[in-house]
Structure 1
Amino acid sequence: MGEILKNSSAFCLILTGMSGAGKTVALKNLEDFGFNCIDNLPVGLLDKFIELFMQSNQGERIALGIDSRNIQELDQLEEHLLFWEEEAQIRFQIVFLDARDEVLIQRFKETRRAHPLAKGGRIEAGIALERKKLAFLRKKADILIDTSKLLTRDLRQQLFSIFMEDKAYKNLQVSLVSFGFKYGIPEDLDLLFDVRFLPNPFYDSELRSHTGLEKGIQDFVMQDGKAEIFLKKLNDMLRFLIPLYIAEGKNQLVIGIACTGGKHRSVTICEKLYQSIKDLENIGLSLDHRDINK
């Protein structure tokens, strides 16, 4: 390895993430912000590229786009990053762009693009393989951005805030997910709370077709006081846990709230919980009612 690497003060931003999550757009924004950007550089050339870059006197802000297109080389990437950390002393950050599977699928369908790992098969299979291959990068990421609900301009603003305004990024992404047990438990949950002990509007024929987004349903679920007590205890617990998760370096917390069908009780509690913790600092907060329309 070149001596320039071992004595460099380079700052390298590695931009990676799921196909369809917005990496191309993000890389273009970083270029607008003054980064020298290279997309899809072969992993085997990383060290040599940075050495040459430092010799060329072009500056010290580099953004490298790395994704699953060169899937065979991803295993080598961990070794390069370990060398950068322990020997070359290159300062780097990893930004990982992600989105929910259903959002990624919809984006591919809208653009009529093939997933790079689908190999002529289903988009879902390509996404599953990509998640597996990129798992180590997601775990190692300094900044995790969920683009599921972001417009292009929203993503640009987030990147601007982080790299141009130097604002503290809300790096713990807390996702509240309501769902019905009858449709299966999401695989990515960190915490799961069963609210089937609460009054069930399903058994009232006039309420059955409505959802927990409506005041009438919420009033029914909250009627006997148990829900209020539960929410207070849950709120207290999360306010205790979340700062500890942030200190630990955790970058995503997925909280599941479940009832039988995912339409009334779990939706109500998710909505109430969202309102009770949205003032917490240093987190991003999202809400997803998975089964509300089933």
Structure 2
Amino acid sequence: MPSFLRRLQTALAGQAPTGDAGAAAPAPGERPAPAVPADLADLLPAVPATERPRAAALGADGAAVVCWELPVAPGASALQLQEALRSAPSRWRPVVVDDGWEEALTEAPQPLEVLADLDVEDGPLLLDRRWQSAHDLAVREERLGMHRGTTPVTTVTAVTRAVAERPPALEDGVVAVVDAHDAWQLPAVLGWAPVDAGLSARELSVVLQYWQDQWGAHLVALGAGSFALRVEDPPATADDALAAAQEVLAVAPALLRADLVEPLPRAAELLGPALRGAGWWHVRLA
């Protein structure tokens, strides 16, 4: 009889192990569940995942699996599973996701080959263009009297702190694993681009590649309209923190608009202190 580990691996791979007469067959007319890749099945016993992985983000024909969702073991957090998978030698890049994250898969997934020509210098160029555009719009709005008054200090503190705090989904989400070389590629590989965000999945990957190089920021979580980064080399000076705040607001110029009455340049000045030394960036795009 096959060993327990072998029976577990074959069960995860959607195959009936030798001698297992109780394997469930798909219902008539029902598409068989995609088989879990063998190397992913081999990886799972070493990490605290439970149950069978779910094929998520299927291709248009329902056949190509873009990623797999892994449930989290009782008593563990999604972040713990993400960290365990990230440290494992594997081609699978983990990211924490919530219930609505697939709503943001609005573009066709891109193969890794098309990302090979991305230049890390494209990131600051894109951010500069977006910041200038958002800045000019804010100046025009200010001239029209669309921003008046001052946001209460308590509101400023709460709003800016939320950008630099670890999001709750890292505790109770699930983990998706994607075949990619690095975490910054995941938006493009998945086609993750929230509606009305004003950025394509490829552009988001360009920005994340630059932030990983500049700030040691690694993508940890994707939601329906937000993403979270663990920042290993956060800005340490006021000037660097202001520059980081401008970059974050260049990606998401409406991030603070719903809560702060200040124009965009002033919002960056208010956000900067919260990002100084911050180990997390939680960026809401929609």
Fold-level similarity (TM above 0.5):
no
Q: What TM-score, normalized to structure 1?
A: 0.24
Q: What TM-score, normalized to structure 2?
A: 0.24
Which structure carries more helix by proportion? Answer: 1
